[in-house]
Amino acid sequence: MTERFIEVSLVSRGVTATARLLDDRAPRTCAAVWDALPLSGDVYHAKYARNEIYALFPPFAPTEPPLENPTVTPIPGDLCYFSFAGTELATKAYGYDREVNPGTTLVDLALFYERNNLLLNGDVGWVPGIVWGQVTEGLPEIAAACNDLWRNGAAGERLEFRAA
């Protein structure tokens, strides 16, 4: 199979990184994401996982991908896929004001931009993610923008995924 690439952008900050899809390790997840592109949503900075930004989407695959190529210790440049029931995220501690309702399912597409991440949540325990992509270009630039997002806020910013 030919390698496939996507662009991951923080739209308002004007920063884009390129990532290679890991079709050999997470084929079902890569197919689900690729077929749904482009995707764009309000960006959040992780509260528990550490150096992570993400956006939430309604489910876009006919069936949720199985847990393929899982990790609880993502490294810089990893793109991860998570699926959550709204009841898992519906407490005020997470800070969502629109997308999350108890009767919904949400897909979380995340970018990890720095080291020392641990997917351990105090409410539910270990939260393995599917590693479906790896940033190949632009990681230092997007990491700097992610740090700016952490320090100065995410309001008004969007995380976008599109075919390269």
**Low pLDDT (below 50) residues in the chain:** none
Residue 68, phi then psi, degrees to nearest 5: -115, 145
Instruction: Indicate the pTM of the whole model.
Output: 0.94
Q: Confirm if 115 and 51 have CB atoms less than 8 A apart.
A: yes
Which tens digits make up the pLDDT trace of 138-160?
A: 999 999 999 999 999 999 999 99
Residue 132 has a pLDDT of 98
Residue 92 has a pLDDT of 65
CA dist 114 and 31 (Å) reads: 26
Residue 121 has a pLDDT of 84
CA dist 70 and 3 (Å) reads: 20
